[in-house]
Structure 1
Amino acid sequence: MVDDELAELRRRRMEQMQRQAMDQQGMEEEAARQQQIDAQVRAALMEILEPEARERLNTIKLTRPEFAKAVEQQLVMLAQSGRVRQRITDEQLKALLAQLTPSKKEFRITRK
C-alpha cells in the first residue's frame, strides 16, 4: 500500500512538473511572438516616420505608453492600408496627435 501511494504521489508530481514546463514554454513562445511583433512595428515606424516625428513619438511613449501604443497601431494601420504615401513629418504627427488626444474638460473655480 505504501508503495502504491508513493507511486501515485510521484506520478502526480511528475504530471504537475510537466504542466509547469508546458506553461513556461507557452509563455516563452508568447514572449517571442510579442517581441517579433514589436520589431515589425518598429521597422514599419522607421519607414513611415521622419526622425523628428519618431523622436516625438518616443517621448510620448515615456510619458503615456498606452496612448503611444495606440498611435503606433494607428500609424501602422494607415501604412498597411496604403494611406501613407510619404514619410510623416513632425508637424503631421502633431496634427494626428491633436486629433487623437481627448479634449480636456476645463473647470472654473470662482471664489466669493
Structure 2
Amino acid sequence: MSDADLEEIRKGRLAQLQQQQQGGGSSGGGEDKKQQEAEARNSILSQILTPEAADRLGRIRLVKESRATDVENRLIMLARSQQLRSKVTEDQLKELLGAMAENEEKGGGGGGGRIVVNRRTDWDDDDDLLDL
C-alpha cells in the first residue's frame, strides 16, 4: 500500500468526520452512523484487498460473520498502522486465516470449535427400574 493510498484513506475519513459534525442533529443518527462506518470499512477494504481476496472474505462472511469481521478488523488495523505494503492477495488472506485459527486453538478464545466429551464409566442403569 503506497503513501498515496494511505493519504486517500485519511482524507476520506477526515471528510466523513467533518460531515458527521455538521449533520449531527439529524433524526435516526444511530443508523446513519452505523451505515457510514460500514461504508468507511468497505472503502478501506476495497483499497487493501484484491478482488479475489474480497470475494473470499465475502464467502467467509456467508459461513461465519464473526470470523469475517475479525479478519476485517485485523486487516484494517494493519492498514492503519502502515504494515501493508501492497494489496492483500487471496493467498495472503488464507495465511492470515490460518494464523488466526492457530491462535484460537492455542487458547486465544472464541470457542474454537473443539468439543470435549467426558463419558461416565461407572454409570448405573438401575434407576430405570424404579419407573416401572
- TM-score normalised according to structure 2 size: 0.57
> What amino acid does structure 2 have at the position aligned with 1:67?
R
In structure 2, distance between residues paired with 1:92 and 1:73: 15
Task: Write the mapping of 1:1-112 to structure 2, written as runs, cut at 5 A.
Answer: 25=27, 28-101=28-101, 102-103=104-105, 105=114
In structure 2, distance between residues paired with 1:52 and 1:78: 19
Gaps in structure 1 of 5+ consecutive residues: 1-24, 108-112
In structure 2, distance between residues paired with 1:106 and 1:37: 36
Q: Which has the larger radius of gyration?
A: 1
CA offsets per residue over residues 5-42 of structure 1, 9 Å max, x none? xxxxxxxxxxxxxxxxxxxx4xx211100100100110
- Select the structure that is richer in helix: 1
Gaps in structure 2 of 5+ consecutive residues: 1-26, 106-112, 117-132
Per the TM alignment, residue 67 of structure 1 is displaced from its structure 2 partner at its CA by: 1.2
In structure 1, distance between residues paired with 2:68 and 2:60: 6
Per the TM alignment, residue 70 of structure 1 is displaced from its structure 2 partner at its CA by: 1.2
> What amino acid does structure 1 have at the position aligned with 2:87?
R
Per the TM alignment, residue 105 of structure 1 is displaced from its structure 2 partner at its CA by: 3.8
- TM-score normalised according to structure 1 size: 0.67
CA offsets per residue over residues 45-77 of structure 1, 9 Å max, x none? 101001110000000011101111111111011
In structure 1, distance between residues paired with 2:87 and 2:56: 14
Report % sequence identity.
33
> What amino acid does structure 2 have at the position aligned with 1:66?
S
Q: Which residue of 2 aligns with 1:5?
A: none
